[in-house]
Amino acid sequence: MNTNTVSAPSPIGRKAATSQQPMWERDINHVRREDLEQSIAGAGAPEPIASITQVSAHGVPAWLYQPAQPGDGVLVWFHGGGWMLGEPACHDALARAVANGAGYSVLSVDYRRAPEHRYPVATDDAWTATVWAAEHFPQIAVGGDSSGGNLAAAVALRARDHALPLALQLLIYPVLDAEPNAAYREEFAQRHEDPADPDALGIDWRNNMRYIWHEYVPDPAQRLIPDASPMHAPSLAGLAPALLITAGRDILRAESEEYARRLTADDVPARVLNYPRANHGFFHLLAATPDARDAVTLSATALRNAFAGSLEKS
């Protein structure tokens, strides 16, 4: 496992995150509208791109971004938002930046969301869109942030089991494990929950995670199957190489680090990039922090190098 720490000038939105009314006490449609507005504002003006086409990927809506003279590969991208929030419009600036920076297409998938559509609907939509992409492009990579990272990791497992080759898993602070008392997570929390510590987590992550998993997978027995919690796959051997990007002030950093250790142990190339002063959700906020721009640039480079056959050049 190759782990790098990337310096960051400032944290993002920590005070807002700690003072906001809990999501489970608010109307989901209002939260979705607010999330869209904040995402667009935080991303800033999107850069020009050669084309954006709304497509039906075997019935799953998606936005296909193509730069000028694109290469023959595509990144199938799954947005975050606890499986309940987010849509391609939230990540429009991000998809443009990755497509332009890498020189390859990006397929941003509009999978169905909870609580209207619970597990395994989002995962099935993600897989269906990936199969469609494989029918239209010679090279495929998958990626996503937070819950979208969960979908990307689950799709990578399905791809291995269906002999569908992937060039890369781009996992941005992914949700990988529904187990609330995992030892690695508790150890991380103990080190980062001190209120006197300026780098403390600063959020009620336990209640947040309980709520999100309850809404996405109501049946506790289903939460720990690998398709829902990729961390619980018996083996990760044979998976695509992985780049994991983490935020230092994020409980999900713990599972990314553990997953990278497991990937490496199973002989899968895995690289971790940590932004130590960043909070969860920074990746697509290109106008809000230099960390986001840096992480997106590194991701585009990793994608380009993966399609060229080398993650280690990233």
Q: Active-site residues: which are they?
A: 146, 250, 280
5: number of CA atoms within 13 Å, CB side? 5
In sequence order, which residues have a C-beta less than 8 Å from that of residue 79 and are 6 or more positions away? 86, 87, 88, 90, 91, 108, 109, 144, 145, 148
In sequence order, which residues have a C-beta less than 8 Å from that of residue 310 and are 6 or more positions away? none
CA angle 40, 198, 258 (to 5 degrees): 75
Helices 28-43 and 92-102: angle between axes, nearest 10 degrees: 40
Angstrom distances, CA of residue 139 to CA of 103, 104, 105: 13, 10, 10
Angstrom distances, CA of residue 91 to CA of 147, 170, 225, 227: 14, 15, 29, 24
Whether residue 215 contacts residue 83, with contact meaning beta carbons closer than 8 Å, is answered with yes
| Exposure class string for 51-72: b at 16+ Cβ within 10 A, else e | ebeeeebeebbbbbbbbeebbe
The phi and psi torsions of 139 (rounded to 5 degrees) equal -125, 140
Question: Which amino acid would we find at residue 180?
Answer: P
What whole-number distance in Å separates Cα of residue 149 and Cα of residue 156?
A: 10
